DNA sequence: CGGTATCCCCTATGATACTG
DNA sequence: CAGTATCATAGGGGATACCG
């Protein structure tokens, strides 16, 4: 390394990568609503759909697949008739609690800040 | 209120709103890279551009405006010739530290989780 | 240097219909 | 009930050129 300049640069990238990873997992319009809906306990596909205003079957299905792929949600098919599919948060999803809580707190703080500024 | 069902529903929405607010402020491909770049100290437009791989002038300009509007970044025009514009984080942006840190930690944790699962 | 204006494309999401 | 298939659309973001 010849100069100090590239230092910032690589530190910067190394810092941002995990942050982006995290945001990517949580992103999309419906991921958080789904996760929050499931914090009240295991639910069926139709129940989640009813809980979340405006979501379509297509999006619910897609986002659930994403969450399952990321190990945050468990999908269980009960072999009844008609079949019954339930979704629930996984133990791994608990690790998100701190993240979600800090986002929630900051969202509230920031809204208060904006209201105060616009006076 | 007649049933217990609508309870989840409204609690759910009230919980999600601030979380979405927070995510909206941080979202977009470049907001975090810009914020992180500025944690190393005040920088000029061109310096930020050089720091962040792949960003175009257009996006940098647009995202900086967003960050300024949200009170996270301060823009200062120095009346020299040619003019010199510097950007720096505001005190309010410090309140994001906990959020960013928890996202960063979770990003790392989650990546480790995924690697472990795929074995 | 520090941007803005234009044009263009692609991905995320929505609407609707259909199936086991 | 629990989805998938198909089509349509808005806006986020890239490329390029230009401006004070």
Q: Which residues pair with A77 in a beta bridge?
A: A85
Could you tell me the pLDDT band of residue A117, with boundaries at 50, 70 and 90?
confident
Distance (Å, rounded) from C-alpha A72 to C-alpha A100? Answer: 13
- CA-based nearest distance B116→chain A, Å: 11
Report the distance separating Cα A70 and Cα A92, nearest Å.
Answer: 9
- The pair of three-digit structure tokens given for residue A104, joined into one six-digit string: 């929630």
Cβ A76 vs Cβ A85: under 8 Å: yes
* Dist CA A11 CA B36 (whole Å): 9
pLDDT digits (tens, 9 = 90+) for B53-91: 999 999 999 999 999 999 999 999 999 888 999 999 999
Q: Is the CB of A28 under 7 A from strand C?
A: yes
Nearest Cα of chain A lies from the Cα of B55 at a distance, in angstroms, of 13
Which letter does DSSP use for residue A29 in this model?
S
Does residue B63 contact residue B34 with C-beta atoms inside 8 Å?
Answer: yes
CA–CA separation, A14 and B50 (whole Å) = 16
**Which residues of chain A make contact with B20, given a CB cutoff of 8 A?**
32, 107
Is CATH 1.10.10.10 the classification given to domain B9-117? yes
pTM of the model: 0.93
Residue A8 predicted with pLDDT over 80: no
Grouping H, G, I as helix, E, B as strand and the rest as coil, residue A84 is strand
Q: Which residues, 6+ apart, have CB-to-CB distance to A101 below 8 Å?
A: none
CB B100 within 8 A of CB B70: no
């Amino acid at each position: 390394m010849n100069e100090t300049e590239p230092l910032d640069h690589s530190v910067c990238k190394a810092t941002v990568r995990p942050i982006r990873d995290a945001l990517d997992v949580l992103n999309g319009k419906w991921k958080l609503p789904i996760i929050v809906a499931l914090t009240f306990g295991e639910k069926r596909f139709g129940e989640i759909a009813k809980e979340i205003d405006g979501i379509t079957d297509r999006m619910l299905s897609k986002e659930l697949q994403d969450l399952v792929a990321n190990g945050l949600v468990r999908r269980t098919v009960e072999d009844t008739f008609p079949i019954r599919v339930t979704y629930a948060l996984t133990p791994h999803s608990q690790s998100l609690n701190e993240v979600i809580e800090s986002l929630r707190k900051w969202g509230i703080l920031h809204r208060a800040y904006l209201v105060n500024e616009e006076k």
